[in-house]
Amino acid sequence: MVKEKGSDLTLGFLPRPTQKRKQFEDLVRRVRWNKGVWVKYARWEESQEGFDRARSVWERALKIFEREPTMWLNYAEVEMKNKFIDHARNVWDRAVTILPRIDQLWYKYIHMEEMLGNVPGARQVFERWMSWQPDQQGWLSYIKFELRYNEVDRARALFERFVQCHVKVSAWICFAKFEMKNGEISRARNCYERAVDKLADDEEAEHLFVAFAEFEEMCKESGRARCIYKFALDHIPKIQAEDLYKKYVAFEKQYGDKDGIEDAIVGKRRFQYEDEVHKNPHNYDAWFDYIRLEESVGVKERIRDVYERAIANVPLAEEKRYWQRYIYLWINYALYEELDAHDLEHTREVYRECLKLIRHKKFSFAKIWLLAAQFEIRQFRLDAARSILGTAIGMAPKDKVFKKYIEIELHLGNIDRCRILYEKYLQWSPENCYAWTKFAELEKSLDETERTRAVFELAIDQVALDMPELLWKAYIDFEISEGEYERTRALYERLLNRTKHLKVWISYAKFEASVADLEGQEVIPEQKEEGLHRVRGVFERALSYYRTSAPELKEERAMLLEEWLNMETSFGDAGLVRSKLPMKLKKRRQIETEDGPAGYEEYIDYLFPEETRTRNLKILETAHNWKKKQRASFC
């Protein structure tokens, strides 16, 4: 007899089923933890119609894999397939006892009983399962089972147990829909009301309110639905009510009028802003948006309430940058009270409280002082406006306050007050060239020449000035306009004692040219010659300064010569200046950084004629010295 490959020598003498069984036994001894081997062994015994042997194999396997649902499922299916119902029922009973949390075992057990027509038995299995409080799907399966046999009362009782076991929105909605499907409208409404009582503060309450409102819509109770939506919007956190808002707006579009639709949209935005300002009360941009929304609606009480709540959120840090956005809440509030609400006393109170709140010793806002004063002017209360601006100057002086106060008094023609204000302005900020210039312009406009000159003299004698070039220019222009050329020359000389800037030299030369009227108009030759002499004298002095005192300022010296050349060209005699013009040389120099050299850059250098001659003399001297050394070496 031919032996099978891999078998023992003695297997060749055994009957074939016994031989196969021997192989399976050897295999399960070697790999007893392999579930597939046990399943194949049991099914082979089943194929040989050795049901007792198959059961023995399954039982042996279950001792090892008692917690494996697939082993129980396969075992029970074998018993059912071969119509051993009692054995199958026994297997299912043991399976659900050992693994009560495996839903598939319960479903299979119940399905078998139902297929056998054993409805009480299936119900009994369901009851055993429900004692373990399974998930929602298990309860719903039991309810569907009862409904398949038209046991509506049993199903309703199950729903009552279901919502007690799973106190969730979805469970109550299913219960209500069940009642609605059976035509029990009052029962369905009662389900929703009970659910609202228990779950109004739940995280999923939004879905409950939406379902309740849609139910009332189906029942043609639009008034009830509207009340539900409004109740929900008042109780649900705004961040969780997005779908609710959409449903409410859609509902109002379908059942409401224009006012209702607008109210729904405004309500949605209002709750969004409420949520934003609740999260961050110092988000002033959100407050501005909220205020604009309320102003568009136009309810005065709401607008004032939002303004009051907004301005109550004072910045925590006493730094101006944190107050800059906040202060506009007060400004908008005051403007609203004046222009829209027409409540002048309340407007005045808003300005007063705002000015009290600002930390004027650390920082202030000129804008709020000026707005308060302008408000009083519009009410024809000049004394009150002057009081506000005077207080501003005393507590928190600022350029804008001084300028506006002076402008107001100037429009009213109070010159003495303007002078007093300029004096206070300059006492507070003596380096402010703008204030000095405007003070002088005021005196000039009044034809007070000596006063104007005195103001300019006081100004240029200040130790520090923020923009001295503008002040000197204004003083020089004033003297020129008065025809005081000698005084103007004296000013230029005084200015040159302070600074030798290129622009001063050029301006001085142009002044001399304009005085002599050297731009082509007919003048006396002697005057023209004298004016030309003065112009050239200025340029010669400037050139001498750059040549001797500031030789490093080559570019300024070159620009001076270019300006001189242009002016001499207009005179008709530019040859002398051309001989002094430098040569432009393009050179390279190394760029030095903290980390060392970093490449090269090109720059323009200037080589003046006297430097060329000096360079040539140095070359000749070097050659002469070399020649002397050569002669000495030959000797």
Alpha-carbon span 158 to 151, nearest angstrom: 11
pLDDT class for 470, splitting at 50, 70, 90? very high
Please tell me which residue, 402 or 54, carries the higher pLDDT value.
402
What does the pLDDT look like over 163-199, one tens digit per residue?
899 889 889 999 899 989 888 899 989 998 898 888 8
Residue 101 tokens read as 């949390």
Average pLDDT over residues 534-563: 85
Q: Is the pLDDT of residue 615 over 60?
A: no
Residue 65 pLDDT:
78
Most confident of 30-39, 417-426, 615-624: 417-426
Q: Is the pLDDT of residue 8 over 50?
A: no
Please tell me which residue, 295 or 606, carries the higher pLDDT value.
295
**Could you tell me which residues come within 8 angstroms of residue 484 by beta carbon, excluding any fewer than 6 positions away?**
none
What does the pLDDT look like over 48-100, one tens digit per residue?
766 777 777 677 777 777 788 888 887 888 788 878 788 888 888 888 888 88
* DSSP codes of every residue in 19-84: HHHHHHHHHHHHSTT-HHHHHHHHHHHHHTT-HHHHHHHHHHHHHH-TT-HHHHHHHHHHHHHTT-
Average pLDDT over residues 12-30: 64
Residue 244 pLDDT:
75
Please tell me which residue, 200 or 491, carries the higher pLDDT value.
491
**Could you tell me which residues come within 8 angstroms of residue 549 by beta carbon, excluding any fewer than 6 positions away?**
500
Residue 573 pLDDT:
66
Average pLDDT over residues 417-429: 94
Residue 519 pLDDT:
43
Average pLDDT over residues 15-29: 67
Going by the DSSP 8-state scheme, the letter that residue 381 receives in this structure is -
Residue 61 pLDDT:
72
**Residue of 124, 137, 147 whose CA lies nearest to 168:** 137
Q: Is the pLDDT of residue 125 over 50?
A: yes
Residue 600 φ then ψ, to 5°:
-125, 160
Helix or strand holding residue 453 (H, E): helix 449-460
User: 322-326, 525-529, 574-578: which has the minimum mean pLDDT?
Assistant: 525-529
Q: Is residue 344 within 8 Å of residue 379, measured between CB atoms?
A: yes
Helix or strand holding residue 601 (H, E): strand 596-607
| Residue type, position 282, single letter | H
Alpha-carbon span 276 to 241, nearest angstrom: 14
Please tell me which residue, 385 or 208, carries the higher pLDDT value.
385
Residue 62 pLDDT:
76
**Could you tell me which residues come within 8 angstroms of residue 179 by beta carbon, excluding any fewer than 6 positions away?**
156, 185, 187, 188, 191
Average pLDDT over residues 42-47: 71
pLDDT class for 434, splitting at 50, 70, 90? very high
Domain locations along the chain = 28-120, 583-622
Average pLDDT over residues 617-627: 63
Report the share of the chain in percent with pLDDT over 90: 30
Residue 262 pLDDT:
61
Q: Is residue 503 within 8 Å of residue 472, measured between CB atoms?
A: no
Most confident of 61-75, 291-305, 423-437: 423-437
Average pLDDT over residues 108-121: 89
User: 127-131, 149-153, 589-593, 611-615: which has the minimum mean pLDDT?
Assistant: 611-615
Average pLDDT over residues 330-356: 93
Contacts from 261-269 at CB under 8 Å and sequence distance 24+? 266/293, 266/296, 266/297, 267/233, 269/293
Alpha-carbon span 145 to 148, nearest angstrom: 5
Please tell me which residue, 326 or 17, carries the higher pLDDT value.
326
Residue 611 pLDDT:
65
Average pLDDT over residues 26-39: 68
Average pLDDT over residues 391-409: 93
Alpha-carbon span 27 to 41, nearest angstrom: 9
Q: Is the pLDDT of residue 456 over 50?
A: yes
Mean pLDDT of the chain: 82
Q: Which residues on adjacent β-strands are paired with residue 590?
A: 600
Residue 1 pLDDT:
33
Most confident of 46-55, 300-309, 571-580: 300-309
**Residue of 410, 330, 339 whose CA lies nearest to 375:** 339
Residue 257 φ then ψ, to 5°:
-95, -170
**Could you tell me which residues come within 8 angstroms of residue 440 by beta carbon, excluding any fewer than 6 positions away?**
452, 455, 456, 459, 474, 475, 478
User: 255-264, 274-283, 400-409, 621-630: which has the minimum mean pLDDT?
Assistant: 255-264
Report the share of the chain in percent with pLDDT over 70: 83
Q: Is the pLDDT of residue 528 over 70?
A: no
Q: Is the pLDDT of residue 566 over 90?
A: no
Q: What CATH number was assigned to the domain covering residues 28-120? A: 1.25.40.10
